[in-house]
Amino acid sequence: MTVTCPACGRETAQAVWHAHLCVCPACGSHQPIAARARLTALCDEGTLAEMNADLVGGDPLDFPGYAKKLAAQREKTGMQEAVMTATGRIDGHPAVLAVLDAQFFMGSMGTGAGEKITRAIEYARDAQLPLIMFSASGGARMQEGFFSLMQMAKTSAAVADFSDKGGLYISVLTHPTTGGVTASFASLGDIMLAEPNALIGFAGPRVIEQTIGQRLPEGFQRSEFQQEHGFIDQIVPRAQMRTVLSRLLRLHEGGVKRT
């Protein structure tokens, strides 16, 4: 079994591909990685404890075909929702983690994902633990309409409250982070990290080009562009993510907690 890299077309044995955390060994392009695989690679062995694993959203609008599509996404990914939340230790440092998975309904945020994210933030606040969230999302879950958009305000309010209590929030943006997720919790990190060459923006480049009737500059909305313009603090290749996060957690663990 081999995996063909969508960026360079080279084939890699599946075991090697996964050992490289879905980063192409030939060209270095960062391809989607399952939330569970990301968390397992990041956390110390035996420390990962999933939270609210069975929490799911509803179908508040009784949207045609939505229930069937949801069932198919669950079957395909083995996940119940687009986000996995957990507690774990990174190089001995405890943290609360939330990881959106672009392979589940494009990582879109509906009521289920929004609630899981909010609960993770509130848990981190109450337990006085640092919070690390990985975003990968097409935005709000259209099939849940306004209920989906409400998750933007809910998650943002939870981050604001966590921040008021002195919590450390590290936001990691991965390909693609767009729409309602960019416009809410993903952009609110105390420290903003990104994987290389990730698309990060609100509206996608095609929509912007059609709206303004102009060609966009090369690399527009990619991680490197966002770092150049001050939105991203550091670009971190996936292979170095554990080391960088461990260092950041160590640097901040002596911080004074405000009450």
The C-alpha atoms of residue 104 and residue 137 are separated, in whole angstroms, by 9
Q: Which residue's CB is nearer to Zn ion, number 27 or number 216?
A: 27
- At closest approach, how far in Å is the CB of 198 from Zn ion? 16
Q: In this chain, which stretch among 1-9, 110-118, 122-130, 147-155 interacts with Zn ion, using CB under 5 A? A: 1-9
Give the SS3 label for residue 174.
strand
Q: Which residue's CB is nearer to Zn ion, number 3 or number 192?
A: 3
Helix axes 145-164, 111-127, angle to 10 degrees: 10
Give the SS3 label for residue 181.
helix
16 touches Zn ion by CB under 5 A: no
Q: Which residue's CB is nearer to Zn ion, number 26 or number 49?
A: 26
21 touches Zn ion by CB under 5 A: no
13 touches Zn ion by CB under 5 A: no
Residue of 161, 107, 158 whose CA lies nearest to 134: 107
The C-alpha atoms of residue 16 and residue 2 are separated, in whole angstroms, by 9
5 touches Zn ion by CB under 5 A: yes
The residue within the footprint of Zn ion, chosen from 19, 26, 127, 160 (CB under 5 A), is: 26
Q: In this chain, which stretch among 21-29, 61-69, 129-137, 203-211 interacts with Zn ion, using CB under 5 A? A: 21-29
The C-alpha atoms of residue 58 and residue 112 are separated, in whole angstroms, by 7
Sequence-separated (6 or more) residues with CB below 8 Å from residue 148: 108, 109, 110, 111, 114, 140, 141, 142, 180
Angle, vertex CA 82, rays to CA 205 and CA 91, nearest 5: 100
Query: How many other β-carbons are positioned within 10 Å of the β-carbon of residue 6?
Result: 10
24 touches Zn ion by CB under 5 A: yes
Q: Which residue's CB is nearer to Zn ion, number 24 or number 117?
A: 24
Give the SS3 label for residue 216.
coil
20 touches Zn ion by CB under 5 A: no
Q: Which residue's CB is nearer to Zn ion, number 20 or number 165?
A: 20
Q: Which residue's CB is nearer to Zn ion, number 24 or number 186?
A: 24
Q: In this chain, which stretch among 20-28, 165-173, 230-238, 241-249 interacts with Zn ion, using CB under 5 A? A: 20-28
132 touches Zn ion by CB under 5 A: no
3 touches Zn ion by CB under 5 A: no
Query: Which spans of this chain sit near Zn ion (rule: CB under 5 A)?
Result: 5, 7-8, 24, 26-27, 29
